[in-house]
Structure 1
């Protein structure tokens, strides 16, 4: 398995690098994994772009220091602060529609296993009215914030999937820290989109007893995806350069 480490210069370059890796996996048959801290941004889904309040939502994100962006996979809006970690597990596949549910189920267990290694007791599911709601999410009991609320489950991760000819990409985003800041930006964004959202549904690895260090969480996710297989470790820049030469 190819282990690709590093972050591209911009969010757009990061998305392009993952798309290129998906093509490389389809061509070579060699699986790959990336796990990396995301650039600060407010990533909107395709459904968000069709809402009447989309322009107001983008403005609300920008006013709070989150550059708006659109992503091709995943659901509703998600805020990345710079400590948020993404992972991308890329596997060759012969059947474009086969194994979708199995890959989702396996990815949920992979995230739960990875978080366990950094001290978080996570489980499948999400609180009501969560950000970017989905069937394949991970939650954990989080400590109370300073506003006096009791401890409750908070969403830590959501998982998406994209399948092309010859390869499947299962990706996810894990909120490591900064949940107060994420709450503060998502509340006006979801309000503008007229989509239900409960700020208390936002959790984080740090609030669930784990580290606030995105690199530690990234390596835990990487290790869980590799799962004992042989690996080669490459920098993202080297992997991108190699892909351009082929």
Structure 2
């Protein structure tokens, strides 16, 4: 297994690094990456078919979030460039028609495990599967945390892309800066005319966990690597040809 760390110099070169995970997996080597993407709003394929898509991209840009299109997932997600994490777990597949549910389950369980090892006032966080109504990037593979007010808020979204000989399960984890991320998503979803409640956005920090993305990143990486740790080789993105 290969573990990639770090971020490439630009949004596009950074996305190239993640695309290479699929190529690595197709060659027979599983790969994991957990990192802090550049500031951006990443639109899903479903967004691109909507009448308000161009306006939504403009609103993201106006708020200092460059718009990009992503291959995995259905609706827009936002990264602030500092606290929001992304993760990707790629593996070879023998039959692209099988294994989708198993891959979702493995990665969802790993992310649950990672969040469960983070502490709030000496007690472990307790992620729950599912999401509130009108959450960002709604889907069946999401995780929520309860904040100090007792409200369940979405913190993790998970999606999957499968090609002929490899698959990648990817997602986002919001660590802090709930207000900033919720504000840009509210504007973008408004332009798309997609139901969205900014109060459903949650973060690890709001649930009492650490606000330092490095701590959360380490926990996620450990959980996604799992029992493969003895076989891990670690590469930085610079060693793979990016800056």
TM-score, length of structure 2 as denominator length: 0.92
Map of 1:140 onto structure 2: 145
- Matches of 2:48 and 2:21, distance apart in 1: 27
- Unpaired segments ≥5 residues, structure 2: 120-124
8 Å Cα contact 1:159-1:172 kept in structure 2: yes
Q: Deviations over 1:175-195 (max 9, x none)?
A: 111110111111121111110
The answer to whether residue 221 in structure 2 is matched with residue 216 in structure 1 is no
- Matches of 1:240 and 1:96, distance apart in 2: 29
Task: Report how far residue 21 of structure 1 moved.
Answer: 2.2
> Over the residues paired in the alignment, what is the CA RMSD in angstroms?
1.3
Map of 2:55 onto structure 1: 56
TM-score, length of structure 1 as denominator length: 0.91
8 Å Cα contact 1:4-1:239 kept in structure 2: no
Runs of 4+ in 1 over 3 A off after TM superposition: none
8 Å Cα contact 1:37-1:215 kept in structure 2: no
8 Å Cα contact 2:24-2:31 kept in structure 1: no
Map of 2:160 onto structure 1: 161
Task: Report how far residue 166 of structure 1 moved.
Answer: 2.1
- Matches of 1:190 and 1:173, distance apart in 2: 18
Task: Report how far residue 13 of structure 1 moved.
Answer: 1.4
Alignment of 1:60-209 (within 5 A): 60-82=59-81, 83-119=83-119, 120-143=125-148, 150-209=149-208
Task: Report how far residue 228 of structure 1 moved.
Answer: 2.7
- Matches of 1:34 and 1:98, distance apart in 2: 23
Map of 1:146 onto structure 2: none
SS at match of 1:38: coil
Q: How many equivalent pairs are there? A: 234
8 Å Cα contact 1:139-1:156 kept in structure 2: yes
8 Å Cα contact 1:2-1:33 kept in structure 2: yes
- Unpaired segments ≥5 residues, structure 1: 144-149, 242-246
- Matches of 2:64 and 2:53, distance apart in 1: 17
